[in-house]
Structure 1
Amino acid sequence: MYTLFQQDNAPCHKAEMVQEWFDEHNNQFEVLTPPPNSPDLNPIQCLWDVLDKQVRSMEASPRNLQDLKDLLLTPWCQIPQHTFRDLVESMP
């Protein structure tokens, strides 16, 4: 299966380790790199905002990595599907 993968130009995405991983899997992905500082071209940025607001409204704080995963997974799964669709359709 061949997949398009979109990322921004954040330094963590340009790390040597990340580039090596994509090089090793180049037959599976085509990496699309938008211009720097373009969150408006990346729908995931808006989803992080939705997730952040939901997580901040919770009373529980994570005590360990598993707690953090559980804390993030629940609100992520509760984001309505139309939110994803609307964000993708808003891209030029």
Structure 2
Amino acid sequence: MKTLQLQIHNAHLTKEFFQKNNITLLDHPACSPDLNPIENIWGWMAREVYKNGHQFQTVDALREAIFNTWSNVPTSLLETLASSMPKQLFEVINKNGGATRY
């Protein structure tokens, strides 16, 4: 029960922060698609780490590949994902929180 109270408290503090700083939040329908661009980066990273069917013999080798890939995320990918957010938000709003092509 303590954890639940802590989560509620954190949510309250977050909402209070947004209000104090005049940050307007969008309503987020319960079934709306994930609008977090990091999901696209994870997908890109997985494809990079395992490209050409690469397999790893040790956890350390996999960890090194993940960190190397993370260090080399192209700026162009980040820019593309960031610039696509307005279009994604617009489409989610038009679909009333339903499925989109993203």
Aligned to 1:53: 47
Distance 1:21 1:81 in 2: 37
The 1:86–1:67 alpha-carbon spacing in structure 2 relative to 1, beyond 3 Å, is same
More strand by share: 1
User: Normalising to structure 1: TM-score of the pair?
Assistant: 0.53
Distance 1:72 1:53 in 2: 11
Aligned to 2:36: 42
Structure with larger RCO (C-alpha < 8 A, sep 6+): 2
State the 4+ residue runs in structure 1 displaced beyond 2 angstroms.
19-24, 29-37, 66-69
Structure number with larger C-alpha Rg: 2
Where in structure 2 are the equivalents of 1:24-43 lying within 5 Å? 26=10, 30=14, 34=28, 35-36=30-31, 38-39=33-34, 41-43=35-37
Consecutive unaligned residues of structure 2, counting only runs of 5 or more, are 16-24, 87-102
Q: Is the Cα–Cα contact under 8 Å of residues 62 and 71 in structure 1 kept in the other structure?
A: no
In structure 2, how many angstroms separate the alpha carbons of the residues matched to 1:62 and 1:22? 39
How many angstroms apart in 1 are the aligned matches of 2:62 and 2:6? Answer: 25
| CA RMSD across the alignment | 3.6
Count of matched residue positions in the alignment of Structure 1 and Structure 2: 71
- Does residue 1:63 correspond to 2:58, yes or no? yes
- Structure 2 CA distance for partners of 1:21 and 1:68, relative to 1, 3 Å: farther
